Amino acid sequence: MAQTLRTDVVIVGAGPAGMLLSHLLEAEGIESIVVETRSQEYVASRIRAGILEHSSVELLTEAGLGARIEREGDEHRGIYLQWPHERHHLDFVDLTGRSVWVYGQTEVQKDLVAARSAAEQEIFYEAAEVTLHDLESERPAVTFTAGDEPVRIEARAVAGCDGSFGPCRAAVPDAVRQTWERVYPYSWLGVLADVAPSTDELIYAWHPDGFAMHSMRSATVSRLYLQVPNGTPVDQWSDDRIWQALATRLGHGQDGWELTPGPITDKSVLPMRSHVQTPMSHGSLFLAGDAAHIVPPTGAKGLNLAIADVALLAPALGALVRRGDEGPAQAYSDTALRRVWRCTHFSWWMTTMLHTSDDPFDAQLQLSQLHWLATSEAGRTGLAENYAGLPIGF
Ligand code: RFL
Ligand code: PHB
């Protein structure tokens, strides 16, 4: 016999979208249970996003999750954009009055786990065979096994926060869902290194050899990326080769700037794609975060979009569960998709402007756009507005 539990919302996935949703729902007076296939340690240790936009920090702070960001995060006024012989600082604060914060996804996840465990949030880790039921009814359910025990959770709604490989997005019937996809013809080789960053703010570099980026996690840890061809095996890139390529692509040939190398502690190749599935809800199922959309990381938007989705979804589920008011839940998909498509476009634009291809025509258009950004305040303001983030509910 399956153990049967009842709650207001079953949340599938304990990544940032799922954990933040459970936190925001509690503030709405709504109960939830979180179901996650991986272990708590695995979810906590994934190295992913590094930048929180202005609205994300505001939201996390309002939700009582801002103390460590304020203490340990690093507020940045903007970014550097560069190409051979030129490096330009774009000051988002001067341009739009908004800043961004360097605060890793691993840290956001730690803060969420601490807050949820203080609130005694019920979370099933290492759940197997997670299956969704009766999504077109007002009494949907999720079943899974925990250890050897079958468990069934019945609720008023299911939140699909299970990332790009989870089962929730596929639970929307084929006849209803539409997907849009763009696979980019390059990947990122990402490294984490135990060395002080050689820059005060992030550098996004166009170079004939390919894009490179210098980011960071703290005063002693740097995060760097190189454009590589799709399918590149990590072991083709020795540490020496990586540092040499980074020095070439990030060097801009002026004022003696140098990249300081150091011990590399993590190395991986990330494919780049855009993917959007619509609608973001069906019946009693609501998708949020990577379960509904993926963006290439060049715009630093993935985590921020997940945060923005659940900021809309929590009050919508609050109205549904507490008052039986379906209006905000029905509007959720359209409202969330406005921001999703804006960020999908921005991420595509940053990606295609900065990654080199074999086509010399593309290179001329890219350099022309970069020159425009360097010389036009209107151009820079557009980039800044998108990078530092539009208000939630835009
Ligand atoms: P997550 O973090 O993938 O969490 C989904 C959770 O669902 C679980 N899950 C299931 N749970 C129950 N039942 C099932 N059947 C399940 N199947 C899966 C998973 O184990 C997982 O714990 O999605 P979420 O919460 O939507 O958060 C989204 C962000 O994680 C993501 O957008 C960003 O990390 C994207 N991203 C980046 N975003 C940025 O803004 N800047 C970056 O630099 C950046 N780098 C990255 C990234 C994503 C990466 N991935 C996905 C490979 C680098 C990488 C490598
Ligand atoms: C990161 O620090 O990992 C990072 C920052 C900005 C991006 C992508 C990744 O656009």
Query: Residue 267 has what pLDDT?
Result: 96
Name the residue at shortest CA distance from atom 43 of ligand 1: 49
Ligand nearest to the CA of 17: 1
Query: Residue 254 has what pLDDT?
Result: 73
Kindly state if the Cβ of 43 falls inside 6 Å of ligand 1: yes
Residue 390 pLDDT more than 90?
A: no
pLDDT band at 392 (very low <50, low <70, confident <90, very high): confident
When mean pLDDT is compared across 248-257, 266-275, 297-306, 361-370, the lowest value belongs to: 248-257
Q: Please, what are the domains in the chain?
A: 3-66+104-181+274-355 (3.50.50.60), 182-272+356-386 (3.30.9.10)
Kindly state if the Cβ of 270 falls inside 6 Å of ligand 1: yes
Q: Which has the higher per-residue pLDDT, 138 or 394?
A: 138
Residue 393 pLDDT more than 90?
A: no
Question: Rounded mean pLDDT of the chain?
Answer: 96
pLDDT band at 277 (very low <50, low <70, confident <90, very high): very high
- Whole-number percent of the chain with pLDDT over 70: 99
pLDDT band at 47 (very low <50, low <70, confident <90, very high): confident
Tens digit of each residue's pLDDT (9 = 90 or more) over 215-254: 999 999 999 999 999 999 999 999 999 999 999 999 977 7
Among all residues, which ones are annotated catalytic?
76, 204, 297, 301, 387
Which contiguous run of DSSP H or E holds residue 158?
Answer: strand 157-160
Query: Residue 202 has what pLDDT?
Result: 97
Pocket test for ligand 1, best of 303, 310, 339 (most atoms within 8 A of CB): 303
Query: Residue 255 has what pLDDT?
Result: 75
- Whole-number percent of the chain with pLDDT over 90: 94
DSSP secondary structure letters along 374-392: HH-HHHHHHHHHHHH-PPT
**Where does residue 231 fall: left (phi above 0), alpha (psi -120 to 50 degrees), or beta otherwise?**
left
The pLDDT of 331-336, averaged and rounded, is 97
pLDDT band at 48 (very low <50, low <70, confident <90, very high): confident
Query: Residue 2 has what pLDDT?
Result: 80
Contacts for 110-113 with beta carbons within 8 Å, 24 or more apart? 110/44, 111/60, 111/65, 111/68, 111/69, 112/16, 112/19, 112/20, 112/23, 112/65, 113/19, 113/40, 113/44
Tens digit of each residue's pLDDT (9 = 90 or more) over 151-192: 999 999 999 999 999 999 999 999 999 999 999 999 999 999
Beta strands in 7-156 (DSSP E): 9-12, 32-35, 51-53, 74-76, 78-83, 86-91, 100-102, 122-124, 127-133, 141-146, 149-154
Kindly state if the Cβ of 190 falls inside 6 Å of ligand 1: no
Query: Under a CB-based contact definition with an 8 Å cutoff, are residues 367 and 206 in contact?
Result: yes
Pocket test for ligand 2, best of 107, 202, 348 (most atoms within 8 A of CB): 202
Residue 316 pLDDT more than 80?
A: yes
Residue 248 Cα to ligand 1 midpoint, Å, equals 31
The pLDDT of 26-35, averaged and rounded, is 97
How many residues are given for the chain? Answer: 394
Q: Is 129 helix (H, G, I), strand (E, B) or coil?
A: strand
